[in-house]
Structure 1
Amino acid sequence: MRNIFSIFKRDVRNISTNWVAAVLIGGLIFLPSLYAWLNIYASSDPYGRTDKLPVAVVNEDKGADVQDKHIDTGAEIVSTLKKNPSMEWHFVSKKEAMDGVEYGDYYAVMVLPENLSEQLASVVSGNPKKAEIDYFVNEKLNSIAPKITEKGATVIVEKVSSQFVSTVNGVIFDLLNSLGLELQADLPDVQRFENYIFEAEKSLPEIYNLLNRGLGDATDAQSIIQEAQGKLPEAKQVTDNGLGQINRTVGYLNEAEQKLDEMSPKIKADLKKVTDISNQANDFLKQLQGIQLDFTELDNAKKTLDDRMTASIERVDGVKQDLIRLQELVQQLPKPNEKPSLGTDEEPDSELQPTPSLPSSNLSGKLNEAITKTDNLKKLLQEAQTNARSVNTVVTGKAEELDQAVDDLQKIAGNTSVELDAFMKEYVNTIEPTVKKEISTAKGTLGQAKGLLTEIQSTLPKVQTILGNSDKDLAEGKETIQKAVAEYPYVSEKVNQLADKIRSIQGETNINEIIQLLQNDPNAEKSFFEEPIQLKENRLYSIENYGTGMTPFYTVLSLWVGCLLLISLLSTDVHGEEFTTRQVYFGRLLTFGLIGLLQMLIVVSGDLLLLDVHIREPIWFVVFGVIISVVFMSIVYTLVSVFGDVGKAMAIVMLVLQIAGSGGTYPVVLLPDFFGIINPFLPFTYAIDVMREAVGGIVWERVAKDLSFLACCSIAFILFGAFLKERINKGTNKLLKKSKEAGIFH
């Protein structure tokens, strides 16, 4: 033990008395701190100067019109970026931007395409398209810069998206708010609609029956219309025949009227002549009364009377014949309600027959009475003539009876005159006016019937058209009803489903609550969807800045680098005196350990006093630094002391593996599997972890685990050096001697 301390004391004395050695050792002590401080300082705020990072922006957006409102997203982005100091923005043309990024003047380029606003506005169309912003980056210039510029581009896109979503949602919630107000106003209608659905559900069977009845009625109506269409030709024939019959009847009436006009004067003249003859005969007979006549005079008188009677009889026969001809004309006219012949075997319906009111049977009866009266007059005249002719036979030789015969003849003549006067008056006052009136009435009635039939005949084409259209409409209506009947099962199912859905919604949802939700403040809803989730950050063991977070790594790294510097310049062996291998190992270990502690104190003091790092537990930071320095020195010193130059290489290899595999910069889970495997066996892993405990806040369970591993490592290497150095040095010395023969190793 004395020799161990003797080596240590001599090393300290030699360093302190030899200024060159002192300067070199001082440099070795100070150099690791520079390594740590410069890296920690550089890492203190790596994103604080991104405003010096040149990024080009090209705006080619032409804007777009949405519902009479012009939007220009590109201009809004440019305006926003000009106020954003996060990067050094350059607003240039596309050619200048692309040339700059290829040459290296710009780290990245963002191109806002000409259809940017149009693509965003497509959200109101039926085919929305996502907007695209072209991003170009020159990754050759730097490995970190592309990540920073990419983050900037992502933030811009997120900001534009957030504003766009906020705007769109604002419009949507304005519409929903209006919808809520309208829904509240229309709530009675909604409730009425629900009642309609329920009523429709109840009425579906009745509707189905109505549809079936309607289908049957349509079929029957179609049959009736088709039957009516078949009757139209008959109706046309009936009207044609009726018009022909009326025209013929009118012709008969005109002929009868003409005959009456022709015969009436003659009949009147004949009747007047007969009347005159009868009156003359009566006057003549009156003159004979009371006069003594001889038979010669009597014969003359009788002859005169006979001639007059014969003339009267002839006149009465003429009147009779005229009346018979007039009656024949009247009898040729169709009787009342007589159906005119159509010239076919079938008789059309009476409803289609024209039945004009023609001359009544009274006219024919009056004519018959008139004819009968002419017969009576003729008989009277014939009786008078016969009596007159028989006077000669009766009164021969009987003068007294002659007077009686004359008186009888006078009476017959008187009665005949009376009858003739009565018949004359009846003909003038009754028969002739009645015939004319009946003919005129018949002509008027036939005129009305003709007009009616003419109107019916002109209406038949319209009726035919209407029936055709009705037949067509009924066919279409029938087809529609058939479709409705065919679709009834589907409609019934859907109405029942809708009714069940309404009942289900009524049971689960209160429409008043929906209306209240729709009437929420649109601005509040817009603000919510602009940032629906706010990250409430709760920092455990918070680290003030990036430099503070990197302090454990760079501090631990500088301590290992300090060990490498020492073993690179200082010798691990003692020359000139006889000491055992083990004494040399422990003696120089103390020297190296002391210098390592000094390195550690300078590094840690600078971290605490010179740099803007915030150590939560500064005392423990120093204590942990002392432990780490001792552990690292024991490892590096043992490797070089035992293996010589090979040990130096081994220490450097360990440094390389620990920088990558310790998780000092990147989480080990993000590294390749190899580093994940070796991570639990690296001293750096535990050294950095224990220093982080001092920086952010101590969890003693982790500290105990970390320090236990470090202590085990240190003890293991010291025991390894103490017991195996001498044996391994024999082999390494031969290798060293052999390597010096090459002339390139010292």
Structure 2
Amino acid sequence: MLPSLYAWLNIAAMWDPYSHTNQIPVGLVNEDKGAIVRDKHIDAGKELVNELNGNKDLDWHFTNRKKAMKELRNGDYFAVIIVPENFSESLGTVISDHPKKAKVEYYVNEKVNSISPKITQKGASMIVEQVSSKFIGTVNGVIFELFNEIGIELQKDLPDIKQFEQYVFTLEEDLPEINKLINNSLQDASSAEEMIDKAQGMIPEARQLTSDGLETINKTSAFLSDAENRLQEMAPKINADIQKIQKVASDINEFLGKVQGKEIDLSKGDQINNQLQSQLTEALGTLDTIQAVLTEAKGLNNAPKNQDIDQNEGESQNNIPQIDLTQIDQAIEKTSQLKSDLQQVQNKASEINGVLEEKKKEFNETIGSLQQLAGDTSVKIDAFAKEYKEDVEPTVMNEISKAQKTLSSAREMLTEIQVSLPEVEKILHRTDKNLSKGKDALEYAHGEFPYVNEKVRELADKIRKLQGEANLNDIIQLLLNDPTAERSFFEEPVQLNENKIFPIKNYGTGMTPFYTVLSIWVGALLLISLLSTDLRNHEDFTGRQIYFGRLFTFLSIGFLQTLIVVCGDLFILGVPVRHPFWMILFGLFISLVFVLIVYTLVSVFGNIGKALAIVMLVLQIAGSGGTYPVVLLPEFFQVISPLLPFTYAVDLMREAIGGIVWQSVTRDLIALALFGLAALLFGTFLKEPVNRRTKAFLAKSKEVDILH
């Protein structure tokens, strides 16, 4: 029963030690004063205290620094966690250019216990992780809320962004043309400056020209008014002269009519000729008068040009519209024709005397011809009179009126120009100043163009690269993600999805293989301590017979010990075992091997064998990997671990409890069998030779009362 107690008590004590961490007292001191971050008050220390009030992982004691440190020194607190006064302030620096990490002070009394500091440190780490997780989640929640707003704005502005990209590409294509335009504009600005300077220099001259032009227009207008008056005065006289000519022509025609066909006294030919010549001369004089008047009227239009004026006035006058003189020219031409016709009549009349003397016969013909010519002339005079009255006179007066209206419009135009000249002068001055600034801007743009050219091309290349690497629509969809979900994600970005291939329910179950194997070895040690491996009177038996005879006794008791231990694990402690049957069989096989080893050592070497068995126990407890993985042990134990039976026995029990992998089981069984076989062979063939050599030493040791 003794080995089973060793296993059961240890397994029960370690059954679930971490379920009682809420009984470990830990002091928490909150000295945080809070902070103002973007007009909002935060108090992370207070939030931490409120959070830990409902935490049952440790026995939290909320106190002040002085009391906490005193209780820690006395061992009443296993650890103390202090939240400093600048805790919230440090967390708030995350939005600054130089964020500062928040710190939590942790004090531990390692003298109290070797395991408790690890548990309390886990509690402190839990606080840091909890605060960090909550802080990261909060900050990222705010960030993703901003991202969400940005995503919405980007989605709205996506057409503008696409258009901007197109603008950049278009600008990139147009850069050479823009450079050319800047150069041309710079040259044009220089030319414009020269033109404005020239225009400003011509303002006084323009002012003088407008003044001279107005003066000339006024003179011309006055002259036209005077011409109109004079034409109106001459119109009655011209009409009277025309009527007089008509009367003369009529009288001549009448006279010739009377003469024709009558017996004329040829001796009176001179009298007739003189009378006719007198009337014709009077008619020709009247025509000369009409022609002179019409010529004078024609000259009225050219009179202003013939006046003695300066060059500038002459240039202005050239722009004054002239009267249409076509009708006057036609009237003068027709007057000349009438005059020519009358002169022909006069010439014919002068021939009367010659005809009378030379050719009486032809007198009547001449008179007829003369009468016909006179009649034609009379008709032409009547037509001319009518044309002059209906066409010439109204046309001349109308042209004079039109010229006066044109001069009035020109006067108004020049007056407006004269009034606008000061404003023009101001505009030219202002334009000159603005052009100077514009030229400076153009020169600056020309100087900065290489830099702008480079940056625009770089921007275009970056946009093309971004388009090749990422889709803006995908980015917008990412930014539109739910901020609450993103916040929850960053509070716990990675969840540990634990999948237990060979689940072990608790810490006690995990330690069962080690303590069960340990109890089996301890049972073997108890047997050799209580039972003798030799006979006092053994003269009748050989060493081999004694070895095997005692071996079966030890094995029988060892099997019974093992059955008690294993069945106690299963039925008394209720250890959850995947393969109970195999656990019992593996336990019996382990007992066989361990009893063989321990019994053989003691049977062959006596008390020295007992010491060797104890040494092996000590080495196997540390080097078998029963408590800590072998890889965590010092190199010495890593080297000897494959040479220890415990290593394979513990693994064999773990297979039965957690789940069997037969490859591992086979390896462990073979290794243990080799250990047992070695012990059996060693005892079978070496017990008797070794005992003979140690017989004298054993006899001496028995004489001493101290040794067993």
TM superposition score normalised by structure 1: 0.62
Q: Is residue 525 from structure 1 mapped to residue 486 from structure 2 by the alignment?
A: yes
- 1:743 CA displacement: 6.6
- Match in the other structure for 1:260: none
Q: Is 1:61–2:32 an aligned residue pair?
A: yes
Contact kept, 8 Å, 1:222 with 1:474, in 2: the verdict is no
Deviation at 1:701, TM superposition (A): 2.2
**1:336–1:91: structure 2 CA closer, same or farther, 3 Å change rule?**
farther
Where do 5+ consecutive residues of structure 2 fail to align? Answer: 209-307, 313-417
Superposition pairs of residues 363-442 of structure 1, within 5 angstroms = none
**CA pair 503-631 structure 1, distance change in 2 beyond 3 A:** closer
Counterpart for residue 689 of structure 1: 651
Separation of aligned partners in 2, 1:471 and 1:180: 45
Alpha-carbon distance in structure 1 between the residues aligned to 2:566 and 2:501: 24
Q: Matches of 2:48 and 2:159 in 1, distance apart? A: 48
Instruction: Please tell me whether the aligned partners of residues 186 and 439 of structure 2 are also in contact (alpha carbons under 8 angstroms).
Output: no
User: In structure 1, what is the Cα distance between the partners aligned to 2:481 and 2:87?
Assistant: 32
Give the match for residue 535 of structure 1: 496
2: CA distance between counterparts of 1:650 and 1:499? 80
Which runs of structure 2 are paired with 1:113-262 in the superposition (5 Å)? Answer: 113-220=84-191
Distance 1:189 1:486 in 2: 27
Does 2:667 match 1:667? no
Could you tell me which amino acid in structure 2 is paired with residue 591 of structure 1?
Answer: T
Deviation at 1:518, TM superposition (A): 2.5
Aligned residues of 1:593 and 1:630 also touching (Cα < 8 A)? yes
Cα drift, residue 149 of structure 1: 0.9
1:473 aligns with 2:470: no
Q: Tell me the amino acid that sits aligned with residue 536 of structure 1.
A: N
**Residue equivalent to 1:547:** 508
Deviation at 1:478, TM superposition (A): 4.6
Q: Deviation per CA, 1:577-599: give whole Å up to 9, x if none.
A: 42222222112212222222222
SS at match of 1:539: coil
Aligned position for 2:610: 648
**Cα deviation 1:664-722 (Å, max 9, x = unaligned):** 11111222222222222211111111111111122222222211211121111011011
Tell me what 1:680 maps to: 642
Shift of residue 651, structure 1, vs aligned partner: 0.9
Structure 1 position 536, deviation (Å): 2.1
Distance 1:499 1:83 in 2: 53
Structure 1: how far apart are the matches of 2:108 and 2:440? Answer: 71
Identity percentage over the alignment? 55
Q: Deviations over 1:588-631 (max 9, x none)?
A: 21222222222212211211111141112112111111111111
- Distance apart, 1:564 and its partner CA: 1.5
> Of 468, 471, 480, which residue of structure 2 is paired with 1:504?
468
Superposed, which structure 2 residues align to 1:490-639 within 5 Å?
Answer: 490-498=454-462, 500-501=464-465, 504=468, 509=471, 511-578=472-539, 579-639=541-601
Which amino acid counterpart does residue 22 of structure 2 have in structure 1?
D
- Structure 1 CA distance, aligned partners of 2:107 and 2:156? 55
Report the Cα distance in structure 2 between the residues aligned to 1:696 and 1:157, rounded to whole angstroms. 35
In the alignment, is the contact (CA less than 8 A) between 1:194 and 1:502 conserved in 2? no
8 Å contact 1:596–1:633 — kept in the other structure? yes
Match of 1:483 in 2: 447
Q: Tell me the C-alpha RMSD between the 2 structures.
A: 3.8
Where 1:35 maps in the other structure, the secondary structure is helix
Aligned partner of 2:56 in structure 1 is: 85
Q: Is the 8 A contact 1:54 1:87 kept in 2?
A: yes
1:48 to 7, 19, 22: 19
Match of 2:328 in 1: none
Distance in 1 between the 2:427 and 2:482 partners?
Answer: 67
**Is 1:74 the equivalent of 2:74?**
no
Q: Which residue of 2 aligns with 1:389?
A: none
1:662–1:684 contact (8 Å) kept in structure 2: yes
- Give the SS at the match of 1:48: helix
The alpha-carbon distance between structure 1 residues 488 and 696, as it changes in their structure 2 partners (threshold 3 A), is: closer
Cα distance, 1:338 vs structure 2: 11
The aligned residue for residue 377 of structure 2 is none
Q: Which amino acid aligns with 1:683?
A: P
Cα deviation for residue 140 of structure 1 reads: 2.1
In the alignment, residue 464 of structure 2 is paired with which amino acid? D
- Cα distance in 2 for partners of 1:503, 1:33 equals 74
Q: 1:228 to 1:737 in 2, by over 3 A?
A: farther
- How far the C-alpha of 1:113 sits from its partner, in A, is 1.4
Q: Once the 2 structures are TM-superposed, how far is the Cα of residue 480 of structure 1 from its aligned partner? A: 1.2
Q: CA deviation at 1:83?
A: 0.7
Per-residue deviation at 1:494?
Answer: 2.1
The aligned counterpart of 1:422 is none
SS in 2 for 1:564: helix
TM-aligned CA distance change 1:468 to 1:101, over 3 Å: farther
Q: Does 1:104 align with 2:65?
A: no
How big is the shift at 1:744?
4.8
Aligned residue pairs total 513
Partner of 1:314: none
Q: Distance in 2 between matches of 1:583 and 1:693?
A: 37
SS of residue in 1 equivalent to 2:19 = coil
Judged with a 3 Å threshold, the aligned counterparts in structure 2 of structure 1 residues 468 and 135 are, in CA distance, closer, same or farther, namely: farther
Shift in alpha-carbon separation, 1:114–1:476, aligned structure 2, 3 A: farther
- Determine whether 1:730 maps to 2:692: yes
**Structure 1 unpaired stretches of 5+:** 1-29, 243-334, 340-451
Give the deviation of 1:220 after TM superposition: 4.6
Deviations 1:507-548 (A, max 9, x none): x62x44433333232222222232233222221121111111
Amino acid at match of 1:209: K
Q: Confirm or deny: 8 A CA contact 1:60 1:111 kept in the other structure.
A: yes
Q: Which residue of the partner structure matches residue 619 of structure 2? A: 657
Alpha-carbon distance change, 604 to 488 in structure 1, aligned in 2, over 3 angstroms? closer
Tell me the amino acid that sits aligned with residue 450 of structure 2. Answer: A
Q: CA deviation at 1:482?
A: 3.0
**Structure-1 separation of matches of 2:502 and 2:462:** 59
* CA gap 1:97/1:222 in 2 versus in 1, 3 angstroms: farther
Q: 1:468 to 1:739 in 2, by over 3 A?
A: farther
Deviation of the 1:504 alpha carbon: 3.2
Q: In 1, are the aligned partners of 2:182 and 2:442 still within 8 Å (CA)?
A: no
What letter is aligned with 1:539? K
The residue number in structure 2 matching 1:265 is none
Q: Where does residue 297 of structure 2 map in the other structure?
A: none
1:488: Cα distance to partner?
4.3
- Partner residue in 2 for 1:439: none
Letter in 1 for 2:172: E
Name the SS for the 1:49 alignment partner: helix
Relative to structure 1, the CA distance from residue 566 to residue 495 in structure 2 (aligned partners, 3 Å threshold; closer, same or farther) is: closer
1:487 deviates by 2.0
- Say if 2:30 and 2:83, in contact at 8 Å, map to a contact too: yes
Q: Deviations over 1:552-582 (max 9, x none)?
A: 1000001111111222232221113422222
